[in-house]
Structure 1
Amino acid sequence: MKDKYLIGEVCKLFNTTRDTLVHYEKLGLISPKKDDNNGYRYYDIEDLNCLTDILFLKKLNLPLTDIKKAIKNSTPSDILEIIKDKEKHLQEEMKKLKELEKTLRAMKLNVKACINNLNKLEIREEKENLLFIEIAKKNNFNDFIDIIEGMVNLVEGVEVLNKNFLEYINFTFLIEEGGLFEKDGGKKVKWGVTLRQSYKFSEDIILNKKVEFIPKNKYIYTVLVLDDTDYDDWLERIKDIVLENNIKVGGPILGRMMLTEYDNDVAMDYYEVYIPIK
């Protein structure tokens, strides 16, 4: 074993770069010597041992500031505390990644449903009760932001909702039972959000709000692309589905937004529509 190694040799031994070694030197992590005759840096065994520790700790994603503490002036107890802090940080990151994975999985299912169920009819049985919370009552789709702001203000102080509120709700329209075929059926449409009754913060959310209980039922299920610029048109489409298929409607018709498609800046909203049957 040699007692001196040039920077190129160290790069080859540790599969690293010259710039990395120079950066570590500037930060005071390693201190190679210089040959007085030629000015070349050289690294001794102590430097190589130190570099081994640095690269190991770097694999743990420790910041260089913590690595410097660990290798320059620390006891085993100090190093243990650094590792514990990193472990806690990793656990928090893993939790975030799991939440992200859950959100992506739900989005993937929604997008697949938009592709596979568009304009197709099937009988489904909803296995869980829903709560519909009315926020607005207007003949358009443009109240989503108002709804979200209203809900966030309503549940301010509910810790979990502040973090992942949108995972639990769907922007929803609700056509009152019998309202679809009334002369001015548009006035029978309510706007708000739905959430599953099992959601553990339901009581906090529904405080001081008009809430309707949507029982589990059998439904005609379909996915429609609804143009938010033509309110009457999509109501007629739902009427046509009911009439053409001789559906005996047995409750309020529910539509939950799943996805928005943009075509030359024109928004087209995909809704899953539940038509309860008697």
Structure 2
Amino acid sequence: MKDKYLIGEVCKLFNTTRDTLVHYDKIGLLSPHKDENNGYRYYKIEDLNCLTDIIFYKSLNLSLNDIDTVMKDCSPQEILQLVKEKEIYLKKEMEKIKKVQSRLKSMKISLEECIYDSKKVELVKDEKESYFFLEITKENKFNDFIDMIEKIQNIDEYIFDYINFSFLIDEGDLFDENAEDKIKWGLTITENLDEIKNNIESKSIEFISEEKYMYTVISLDDKAYDNWIKYVRNIVIENNIDVAGPILGQMLVTVYKDEAPTDYFGLYIPVK
């Protein structure tokens, strides 16, 4: 067994890179020795043992700063504390990843609905998810939504997992000549109602749950918004829908083309 190893040899033995070892030297984590006779820098067997420990602690996802502490002056109790802290950190990160996976799954479903359900109006007999609708504003006062967003940002990082921007058209209002002024805009919520309710000033809260409804997806760009009530009316008329309750529209996604936004809404029309 050799007692001196050049940096290239260490790289091959430990499947690491020269840049990595140079960085360890730069931060004082593991420094090679200098041969006074030829000027070459080399690592001793003891250094390779230290490198083995460094690689092991890296596999525990400890930071280089933490590893430096462990390698220079640390008791078993202190190492145990570092390991416990890392365990807690990783658990939180795993929970975040699971939530992101759930959001990606929901986004995929929403996009598939935008692609396929906008081409049809379909009767759905299965009971859809129940919602609480919090009315925020009427008459398309979208500036009220900005105030609302400012309030909800401090509630929950993953608030969009359980809320949707929505509109609600009460039964009978769709064909009212003043329908535009009667449309309610707000949020539909599936959980954490009390937390949201206590942080957002709402004009009213309504429970929405239907077992039988017509479902489709409508897309509204800036031009379509000018006449979107007529668009919903035409869906009801053309499909001979006997409306049996409030019509709910839930925002699915906003798509941009040439920087111009188009909003996609899932439209739930309850039928008798």
- Provide TM-score, normalisation by structure 1: 0.89
Quote how far apart the aligned CAs of 1:67 are: 0.5
2:220 and 2:230 map into 1 onto residues whose CA distance is 11
Cα-Cα RMSD: 1.9
User: Partner residue of 2:166?
Assistant: 172
Q: Deviations over 1:72-123 (max 9, x none)?
A: 1122222222211111111111111111111111111111111111131111
User: Partner residue of 2:239?
Assistant: 245
Kindly indicate whether the alpha-carbon contact (under 8 Å) linking 1:228 and 1:267 is maintained by their aligned counterparts in 2: yes
Q: 1:8 to 1:236 in 2, by over 3 A?
A: same
The 5 A counterparts of 1:16-165 are 16-124=16-124, 125-139=126-140, 143-150=144-151, 152=152, 161-165=155-159
Kindly indicate whether the alpha-carbon contact (under 8 Å) linking 1:35 and 1:42 is maintained by their aligned counterparts in 2: yes
Q: 1:275 to 1:140 in 2, by over 3 A?
A: farther
1:147 and 1:119 map into 2 onto residues whose CA distance is 33
2:57 counterpart letter in structure 1 = L
- State the SS of the aligned residue for 2:241: coil
Kindly indicate whether the alpha-carbon contact (under 8 Å) linking 1:123 and 1:221 is maintained by their aligned counterparts in 2: yes
Kindly indicate whether the alpha-carbon contact (under 8 Å) linking 1:141 and 1:228 is maintained by their aligned counterparts in 2: no
Residues 1:205 and 2:206 are matched in the alignment: no
> How many pairs does the alignment contain?
268
Residues 1:266 and 2:260 are matched in the alignment: yes
1:167 and 1:25 map into 2 onto residues whose CA distance is 46
2:210 and 2:116 map into 1 onto residues whose CA distance is 23
User: Partner residue of 2:177?
Assistant: 183
Kindly indicate whether the alpha-carbon contact (under 8 Å) linking 1:130 and 1:195 is maintained by their aligned counterparts in 2: yes
Kindly indicate whether the alpha-carbon contact (under 8 Å) linking 1:4 and 1:45 is maintained by their aligned counterparts in 2: yes
2:61 counterpart letter in structure 1 = N
- State the SS of the aligned residue for 2:156: helix
2:145 and 2:127 map into 1 onto residues whose CA distance is 25
1:103 and 1:126 map into 2 onto residues whose CA distance is 22
- State the SS of the aligned residue for 2:268: strand
2:264 and 2:13 map into 1 onto residues whose CA distance is 57
- State the SS of the aligned residue for 1:274: strand
Kindly indicate whether the alpha-carbon contact (under 8 Å) linking 1:256 and 1:273 is maintained by their aligned counterparts in 2: yes
2:5 and 2:65 map into 1 onto residues whose CA distance is 26
1:97 and 1:271 map into 2 onto residues whose CA distance is 27
2:92 and 2:86 map into 1 onto residues whose CA distance is 10
- Give identity over the alignment, percent: 53
Kindly indicate whether the alpha-carbon contact (under 8 Å) linking 2:210 and 2:270 is maintained by their aligned counterparts in 1: no
2:194 counterpart letter in structure 1 = E
1:148 and 1:245 map into 2 onto residues whose CA distance is 36
2:143 and 2:70 map into 1 onto residues whose CA distance is 56
1:143 and 1:265 map into 2 onto residues whose CA distance is 23
1:148 and 1:217 map into 2 onto residues whose CA distance is 31
User: Partner residue of 2:217?
Assistant: 223
- What stretches of structure 2 of length at least 5 have no aligned partner? none
- Provide TM-score, normalisation by structure 2: 0.91
Q: 1:232 to 1:249 in 2, by over 3 A?
A: farther
Quote how far apart the aligned CAs of 1:232 are: 4.5
2:129 and 2:265 map into 1 onto residues whose CA distance is 19
1:55 and 1:148 map into 2 onto residues whose CA distance is 45
- What stretches of structure 1 of length at least 5 have no aligned partner? none
1:194 and 1:167 map into 2 onto residues whose CA distance is 11
1:101 counterpart letter in structure 2 = Q
1:148 counterpart letter in structure 2 = I
